[in-house]
Amino acid sequence: MSDIKKVVLAYSGGLDTSVIVRWLQDTYNCEVVTFTADLGQGEEVEPARAKAEALGVKEIYIEDLREEFVRDYVFPMFRANTIYEGEYLLGTSIARPLIAKRLVEIANETGADAISHGATGKGNDQVRFELGAYALKPGVHVIAPWREWDLNSREKLLAYCEERNIPVEKKKGKSPYSMDANLLHISYEGMVLEDPWAEAEEDMWRWSVSPEKAPDQPTYIELTYEMGDIVAIDGQAMKAHEVLAHLNKVGGDNGIGRIDIVENRYVGMKSRGCYETPGGTIMLRAHRAIESITLDREVAHLKDSIMPRYAEVVYNGYWWSPEREALQALIDQTQTYVNGTVRLKLYKGNVEVVGRKSLDSLFDEKIATFEEDQGAYDQKDAEGFIKLNALRLRIAAGKGRNLL
């Protein structure tokens, strides 16, 4: 412990990380540097400065990382149509590699001996933060207070604050759930959600109306793609973080993006959580639509076959890994011709694709038509194609191998 002189802490300004600041100071007799990231969580991050100063912190980093987050992490992930276990759009998972990167960079800038985070010893985030940190700075020392201290309840944390005169802000109407928010989603865990049979309370949701209360008239939007990324909405050019913020608003207004799942955590346990991802839900549907007319069949199927592996890599915390880099290179190469526009109809929780067009479209009306194709496709050729593909089946059946 005596070797630790300075620690960079991922700091939110909330109860847990405020306690961690003082605990690090007391336990390691070290200087603490705080790092607070604005990832579009919807709350002011600047108040964290005053809270850190009140705890004696001299070096305080507060950064707006919204554009970098969406441009360099969310968009590359959505090029792969990434979804974990068929439902989860990885909103928490994809934020962790960026935070880990900045923790390491700030440690290098300030000459810190260690980094620290407030993730518990039961969850995935401890793995994600630390795998990222070790990949980027192999010799980094990581301090995870939840794995060291005995302050394992809110009551003990509050008692610790009272003993050491740590100011605690008591907000009226504060959500009882454990929440994590960024521009891609809000997650909810704990309380009634720990019973997988119990329905989530309606007033839990923050970004979306219920589908029952959504407008009775649909909303139409058009998304313009360049190389697999959305660059404009309804013809208006936008930066990456502006795209996602806009889609969150229009999606939430139409009751889009709520899911309630039980997922398999990397650490081994099952966890029930609710997620609100309106913009991401729209993006996934639209991206598959533009790919449907611009990607070669075998390339599209190859992408679909590696997507579950890519999703596991991101979920488990291996963003900064050679396998993710390799997968990403393949995925990004497939996006060269994923250009064009998708028209969507948003209505009471549903995202319906109603149009898609592209100068790079592989859809050929002359061939696909049910009308006279003027010789573009000779239907007689299908007979030989079918017989060749049936050859192994016919041989097996002829040898008495009955499939019934």
- The binding site for ATP comprises 10-18, 37, 118
350, amino acid identity: N
Catalytic: 178?
yes
Which of 66, 79, 96, 324 is an active site residue?
96
Task: Please give the Cα distance from 160 to 361 (Å, whole number).
Answer: 62
Supply the DSSP string of 336-379, one letter for each residue. TT--EEEEEEEETTEEEEEEEE-TT----HHHH-SS--TTSS-T
Which of 66, 113, 116, 125 is an active site residue?
125
> E strands within 101-255?
114-116, 141-143, 178-181, 186-189, 219-226, 229-233, 236-237
Which of 71, 72, 178, 265 is an active site residue?
178
Full strand arrangement of the beta sheet holding 31-38: 59-64, 31-38, 6-10, 114-116, 141-143
Q: Please give the structure tokens belonging to residue 38.
A: 């604005």
Which of 146, 133, 114, 138 minimizes the C-alpha distance to 17? 146
Catalytic: 16?
yes
Task: Please give the Cα distance from 102 to 96 (Å, whole number).
Answer: 10
Compute φ and ψ for 51, nearest 5 degrees.
-65, -40
Q: Please give the structure tokens belonging to residue 310.
A: 């890519």
In this structure, what DSSP letter does residue 84 have? B
Contact 9, 33 (CB under 8 A): yes
Task: Please give the Cα distance from 111 to 319 (Å, whole number).
Answer: 25
Catalytic: 96?
yes
Binding site feature residues for L-citrulline: 88, 93, 124, 128, 178, 187, 263, 275
Polymer length of the chain: 404
227, amino acid identity: M
End-to-end CA distance of the chain: 70
In order of 10, 15, 20, 78, 381, the CA distances from 184 in angstroms are: 19, 24, 27, 11, 48
Binding site feature residues for L-aspartate: 120, 124-125
Binding site feature residues: 10-18, 37, 88, 93, 118, 120, 124-125, 128, 178, 187, 263, 275
15-28 and 154-163 are packed helices; what angle lies between their axes, rounded to 10 degrees?
60
Task: Please give the Cα distance from 14 to 55 (Å, whole number).
Answer: 13
Catalytic: 394?
no
Contact 111, 4 (CB under 8 A): no
Kindly list the catalytic residues: 16, 96, 125, 178
